[in-house]
């Protein structure tokens, strides 16, 4: 799956994360699972501000098909991190979201993640084609064709 590999390139979307006290485990590190909550924050913000305000508000919602995450370095409670998000690929009914967590205290990518999602209609209870308008919005934001 070529599109699951994170290549170099630009992330235009960045969201600072508020680390919570109980995100940290008994080794003093942010628990690996917490990154997925952080990625969710970036994902929500990206999907609603870039794809469409309507996404997840009405009939169409994203359904996660798979997740692939690589962990490079631990994060501590006192560290500051941002989540960067972009769409790297759009198929007919599915798209790939690439994200990474950057420790801005140490200027270090600590984790990267690819998520394959399908566009799902709650009404039809089935996956459907991504609206052209969404595709166009992403192209404009990411400044490349999809």
Binding site residues, its own copies, CB under 8 A: 17-18, 20-22, 24-28, 31-34, 36-37, 40-41, 44, 61, 63-71, 77
CB of 146 to its own copies, least distance (A): 24
Q: Which is nearer to its own copies, 9 or 28 (CB)?
A: 28
Q: Which is nearer to its own copies, 77 or 129 (CB)?
A: 77
| Dihedral in degrees, nearest 10, Cα atoms 13, 99, 104, 10 | -50
CB of 77 to its own copies, least distance (A): 7
User: What separation in angstroms does the CA of 82 have from each of 13, 32, 38, 72, 112?
Assistant: 10, 15, 9, 15, 12
Rounded to whole angstroms, how far apart are CA atoms 128 and 94? 9
CB of 104 to its own copies, least distance (A): 16
């Amino acid at each position: 799956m070529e599109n699951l590999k994170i290549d170099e390139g630009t992330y235009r979307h960045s969201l600072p994360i508020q680390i919570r006290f109980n995100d940290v485990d008994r080794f003093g590190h942010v628990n690996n699972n917490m990154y997925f909550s952080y990625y969710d924050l970036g994902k929500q913000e990206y999907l609603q501000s870039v794809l469409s305000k309507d996404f997840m508000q009405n009939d169409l919602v994203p359904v996660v098909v798979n997740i692939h995450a690589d962990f490079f370095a631990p994060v501590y409670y006192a560290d500051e991190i941002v989540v960067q998000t972009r769409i790297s690929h759009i198929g007919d009914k599915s798209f790939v979201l690439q994200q990474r967590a950057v420790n801005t205290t140490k200027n270090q990518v600590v984790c990267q993640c690819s998520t394959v999602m399908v566009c799902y209609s709650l009404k039809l209870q089935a996956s459907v084609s991504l609206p052209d308008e969404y595709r166009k919005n992403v192209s404009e934001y990411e400044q490349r064709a999809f």
